[in-house]
Structure 1
Amino acid sequence: MKSFKSPGRHGYAVEISPFLASTIACASSPYYGIAGLLRVLKGHTQEVISFCLIHSFDWNDGLFDVTWSENNEHVLVTGGGDGSLQIWDTAHTQGLLQVLKGHTQEVYSVDWRSWDHTAKVVRHGCQLVSSLQGHEGVIYSTIWSPHIPACFASASGDGTLRVWDVKAGSCRLAVPVHRAEILSCDCCRYDQNILVTGAVDCSLRVWDLRNVQHPVAQMMGHSYAIHRVKFYLFYKTILASCSYDFTVRFWDYSKNQPLLETLEHHSEFVCGLDFNLHIPNQVVDCSWDETVKVFTPSCLAAL
């Protein structure tokens, strides 16, 4: 395991570049959200034997999520506490390319998603395509479908999972999947009908959109709210979750005993989590303990 520590920087989100296996972006907020900092880390080798800070960009409010462009290896987008999206270009020393202001409250994460009960879709050229309303609570998470163009799912504090059609500008499906706030959702890369949700009730639930009367699987084990959940990119039924209980857990929802491994390598809330697209068994996470960690869990190494 390799660790990068940045004193005073509380990590909220981390993502590995889709272009470069050893390049990592981390959205953090010094002083618990009063200010924001985007850090880009570079590994010395593809396996990330060690890594160092190569870019650091400040923002005047908290940064709560980050996502890489899939068209340009230098471009990133972050979501801020002032309701704006920040577009950054690491190829330029000044970093900041453009600021988009479309939300009235904090942008909790970007895919795009926000705190003001709306989901906004933006295309290249920074044109607002649509603003979709329907949730009755904070939208904590959205994820584009990897299978169906112009379709995405959203998870909310109102306890519902919704599936949206951008072309139609409407909600196609609204399902009450938890009796608690849902903080994260993700789509399975191997089946367009399978999604997972993670909630404040400490449970993860896997859903088949063809029959949402009952979850395909329910996984318990976390002792506090689940902040982020991600499907593994290389195996259909494996996923990971991180939580306010300071742990990262790996699961196989097809098994009777789904918990594969629990890692307790942080001393504060674990908020960010991502799998490496280029190195099948490598994971990165970030925490309020001011560290970013890159590691290979034994349960994935054994596959």
Structure 2
Amino acid sequence: MAYIKSANRSASMALAPDAPYMAAGTMAGAVDLSFSSSASIEIFKLDFQSEDRDLPVVGESQSPERFNRLAWGKNGSGSEQYGLGFIAGGHVDGSIGIWNPSALIRGEPNEGAFVASLANHKGPVRGLEFNSFTPNLLASGADDGEVCIWDLATPGEPSHFPPLKGSGSSLQGEISYVSWNSKVQHILASTSHNGNTVVWDLKKQKPVISVSDSTSRRCSVLQWHPDVATQLFVASDDDSSPALRLWDMRNTLKPVNELVGHTKGVIAMAWCPSDSSYLLTCGKDNRTICWNTVTGKIVCELPSGNNWNFDVHWYSKIPGVIAASSFDGKIGLYNIEGCSHYGIGEADFGAAVSLRAPKWYKRPAGVSFGFGGKLVSFHPKSSTSGDSEVLLHNLVTEQSLVSRSSEFEAAINNGEKSSLKLLCERKSQESESEDDQQTWGFLKVMFEEDGTARSKMLNHLGFSLPLEEKPAVVDDLSQEISALQLADVATDKVEYENEKESVMFAGDDGEDFFNNLPSPKVDTPVSLSAETASHNAEEIRQEPDALDENADPTFDDAIQRSLVVGRL
């Protein structure tokens, strides 16, 4: 991957916390191609919208000494004159220079840009860092083993806190790096070349805990964990043991974890401000590695140059952008997304790819529509905690629709037939079309009281139950039918007796008997005429029509109504 922006400088650097600027100070122990012995501090503008890859210089000032370390802190004085904060530089002669970056950018002379010089150390200053909670506090550590705390509340007259107890002793050794705790503002840690790492409590003005390397490795850099207040990473520039060790101050008997990847000593280290699981390191093996501290694996690696990087930083304004300064005499800005990712090479087809995305891809806020006029949104509760707050809104576009829906829902929740009946009646009256009125009217009948719902439904459909006949009429009809049946029986009995008597007392005249016999019926001759057959068939076909013409339509209607009302 090619760099995004670059500057041909062999310098220590520091990035502005709240502005698109970068400070670079001439590196101690390195020379440029011209073998110049001068030293200077420069301000570069980080303009990513420009197509020019060379970083423009917007401010410059001469420095009496070269730099071992640069630090850029926020404005802790409260004065608008120092709107961009302060730049502190640790020199090889033990002094610390303080510059005003705003004055450097405005082009003021060296006297106006240079604020103060802090002289208390007796050796090269290699540890230098501003307190993120109290920007006016500056911690420094030098080869003399002393850790100093400076107060820049009054930039023109900076003050020095009393020396820390135990600081400057031979046991402390040469201070290589200092770092403020990211959670507790009065806790400071320092590491030295003799392998000792000390945690200081500024309230007590003394060390509270110390961690010694079992092999006395040369510790070069340390970083507090951004999320866990008791954990810190310590790296060594010893080529024989270049592992990064994670220590927990609650148990210093052994490290919690080790990151093994460098083959030579580690020189610089920086923790990602946008994702606490990403840690960037560079070593003498010409490798600059981004680690996943949760899994302990390498996420990606910057392209290697002809010489190794000695200073690395994350750009807080744009996640994923890092700055690296190398002994090649170049400061480069890179995008971590374009770095070579492990396990995704051409020869590693099918290799497992990490499914974890950086935290800066996480949406800080979002919104989505739901059913029923609902709108769901979420946003973080605060900038410090990672919790999110979910809100549910009622989005009202038509107030009448909402009122009708609420009325219907209230009636359903009530569950009483009377309320549902009233709702249907009101809807039927409010309906404009006849079909809607009939529909709501039919639904209203459905919620009638038990025992009357069926009859009212039949009345609504246009049917009526027949009236019950009086019992007296039924009795008279039964008596008349009984009388008719008895009369018929009596008549049949008289005729039967007469026939019996005539048969029993008939005469012996045989001729009369045979003469009185009925003559047999004459068979109708079968006609083979076609006309006769067709005439008969026509009569047969006309018979149903004659029946249909004689049928009474009221009789069919009565049958249908009887079936509907259940009167069979």
Q: TM-score, normalised by structure 1?
A: 0.90
- Shift of the 169–38 alpha-carbon distance from structure 1 to 2, 3 Å rule, reads same
Aligned residues: 298
- Match of 1:110, SS state, is strand
Q: 1:168 aligns with which of 196, 204, 207?
A: 204
Q: Which amino acid aligns with 1:2?
A: I
8 Å CA contact 1:108–1:140 kept in 2: the answer is yes
8 Å CA contact 2:13–2:24 kept in 1: the answer is yes
Q: Which amino acid aligns with 1:145?
A: N
Structure 2 residue aligned with 1:24: 22
8 Å CA contact 1:196–1:229 kept in 2: the answer is no
- Shift of the 31–204 alpha-carbon distance from structure 1 to 2, 3 Å rule, reads closer
Question: 31-40 or 75-84, which moves further after superposition?
Answer: 31-40
Distance (whole Å) between structure 1 residues aligned to residue 52 and residue 247 of structure 2: 37
- Match of 2:127, SS state, is coil
Distance (whole Å) between structure 1 residues aligned to residue 316 and residue 87 of structure 2: 17
Distance (whole Å) between structure 2 residues aligned to residue 47 and residue 144 of structure 1: 35
Q: Which amino acid aligns with 2:210?
A: A
- Match of 1:240, SS state, is strand
8 Å CA contact 1:2–1:48 kept in 2: the answer is no
Q: Is 1:191 aligned to 2:228, yes or no?
A: yes
Q: TM-score, normalised by structure 2?
A: 0.50
Structure 2 residue ranges without an equivalent (≥5)? 32-36, 76-82, 130-139, 342-355, 359-568
Question: 53-62 or 186-195, which moves further after superposition?
Answer: 53-62
Shift of 1:181: 0.7
Distance (whole Å) between structure 2 residues aligned to residue 26 and residue 48 of structure 1: 22
Render the CA deviation track for 1:59-98: whole Å, top value 9, x for unaligned. Answer: 2322111111211415211110111000011333222111
Distance (whole Å) between structure 1 residues aligned to residue 61 and residue 120 of structure 2: 22
8 Å CA contact 2:74–2:85 kept in 1: the answer is no
Structure 1 residue aligned with 2:553: none
Q: 2:6 aligns with which of 4, 7, 23?
A: 4
Render the CA deviation track for 1:179-216: whole Å, top value 9, x for unaligned. Answer: 21100001121111121111023111111211222212
Q: Which amino acid aligns with 2:147?
A: A
Structure 1 residue aligned with 2:151: 123
Render the CA deviation track for 1:249-294: whole Å, top value 9, x for unaligned. Answer: 1111221x51222223332231111112221211111112111111
1:25-40 to 2 correspondences below 5 Å: 25-29=23-27, 32=30, 35-40=38-43
8 Å CA contact 1:240–1:249 kept in 2: the answer is yes
Distance (whole Å) between structure 2 residues aligned to residue 240 and residue 178 of structure 1: 25
1:95-114 to 2 correspondences below 5 Å: 95-111=113-129, 112-114=140-142
- Match of 1:91, SS state, is helix
Higher relative contact order (CA 8 A, sep 6+): 1
Q: 1:274 aligns with which of 300, 313, 329?
A: 313
8 Å CA contact 1:160–1:176 kept in 2: the answer is yes
Higher normalized helix content (fraction of residues): 2
**Higher alpha-carbon Rg:** 2
- Match of 1:108, SS state, is strand
Distance (whole Å) between structure 1 residues aligned to residue 50 and residue 284 of structure 2: 28
Q: Is 1:230 aligned to 2:262, yes or no?
A: no
Q: Which amino acid aligns with 2:287?
A: T
Render the CA deviation track for 1:152-185: whole Å, top value 9, x for unaligned. Answer: 1111111121100112110001011462110000
Q: 2:100 aligns with which of 89, 92, 98?
A: 89
Structure 2 residue aligned with 1:41: 44
Q: Which amino acid aligns with 2:327?
A: W
Structure 1 residue aligned with 2:71: 67
Structure 1 residue aligned with 2:14: 15
